[in-house]
Copies of this chain bind each other. A is one copy, B any other.
Amino acid sequence: MKRLLLVCLIVVTAFASFAQDSIRFTSAASLMMIGKAKPTDSIFQRIDSVETKDMPKAVQALAKNSAGIAILFETNSTIIRAKWKLESEKFYSNMPPISHSGLDLYCLKNGKWQYVMVGKPAKGTADQDQVIIQNMDSSMKQFMLYLPLYNTVNDLQIGVQENAEIRKPAQPGINTTKRVVMYGSSILQGASASRPGMAYPAILQRKTGYDVINLGFSGNAKMEIELAQYLASVPADLYILDCIPNPSPEQIKERSYNFIKYLRQQKPNVPIILIETVFRENGNWDQKVGKTVSGQLEEIRKTYDRLKKEGIDNFYYLTTDKLIGNDHEATIDGVHLTDLGFSRMADAVLPLIRKAMKK
């Protein structure tokens, strides 16, 4: 009798442990997606290929990266696992793989988004499969899962315990009726955040609760009028332009006034925040780099003065000295911000967002 009980116990334990480890996958596409300018055919990219056809080739490619896109869901599973298919294996000397190709999980706790854990990409495979977190309590929680910053995601499946619930959140922790649309360079796209959630648009998203759309195009935010046309077509309550690092001083001179003017004419009631470029740290030493950045600053200030003289309103301007502190420690490579730089940058932009959105 005792022996029978023992056998039963072993079988039950084994089954319980099997049941616990048995994971059911749900397509992220069926959950809630934030950080999207508009719907796209290939759902984990930022701009639809049809809409990028008049944009520069580099922007067309970068628009497929999943920067700023996140999935919201609720589950009571004690484990969260993810399978994600990457377009290609990337190497950036200035980004950890978690940042360019990994996932970043947050949970809503007492009304605030708190970091949980990352999905670490493994080397040498496009098909990633990782347990992100386990051994949690089984209360129902709302999660936000950020997608990779500098890669393209062709599929994403979220795994929970076989018997757990997973669903769109009843009360989303991000208010998608308040939309902040950001256009900019590699810095905006998220280089060099340690993980997707530390790109500064993502920090601002969590701090404001607004839906922040990341339209950062590494090395290619050059203010072509096609981009202004696209931005004007995106539903927005606020535009933030952080696009001075990429164009040459000449391009800023030629394009910036028309770019901003066009956007304002198309969307007269939407406030605009214009951010001067971060002064490249190596520009303090490399006189050629320093001269270029000074030239960029000079040209955008002329545009700003011209717009102010014309009486532009509902327009906010953030100068370079306010962005990343003055200890020269906020970048990885003189240009791209680390989490230290991004948290300073978010602190600098946040008060202007609050002001602009209050109006």
Which residues on A are within 8 Å of B, measured CB to CB? Answer: 91-99, 102, 107, 114-118, 120-123, 133-137, 192, 194-195, 198, 281-282, 284-289, 328-334, 338-341, 343
Contacts and interface: CB of A to CB of B under 8 A. Distances in A.
A59 B332 CA distance: 28
A12 to B, nearest CB: 22
A91 B340 CA distance: 23
Contact of A117 (B117, B134, B194, B334): B334
B343 A286 contact: no
B286 A135 contact: yes
Interface of A is mostly: loop
Contacts of A288: 134-135
Given A115-B281, A281-B117, A95 B94 contact: no
B192 A133 contact: no
Contact of A93 (B93, B120, B135, B339): B120
A122 to B, nearest CB: 7
Copy number of this protein in the oligomer?
2
Given A117-B333, A332-B98, A134 B93 contact: no
Contacts of A118: 332-334
B133 A286 contact: yes
Contacts of A287: 135-137
A332 B281 CA distance: 24
A329 B115 contact: yes
B339 A114 contact: no
B96 A94 contact: yes
A328 B115 contact: yes
A286 B93 contact: no
A115 B337 CA distance: 13
A177 to B, nearest CB: 26
Among the interface residues A121, A136, A339, which one has the most CB atoms of the partner chain B within 10 A?
A339
Among the interface residues A281, A330, A333, which one has the most CB atoms of the partner chain B within 10 A?
A333
A116 B329 contact: no
22 contacts: A91-B97, A93-B97, A96-B99, A114-B284, A115-B331, A117-B281, A117-B286, A118-B333, A133-B286, A135-B287, A135-B288, A137-B287, A194-B194, A194-B332, A194-B338, A195-B333, A198-B329, A198-B338, A329-B343, A332-B339, A338-B338, A338-B340
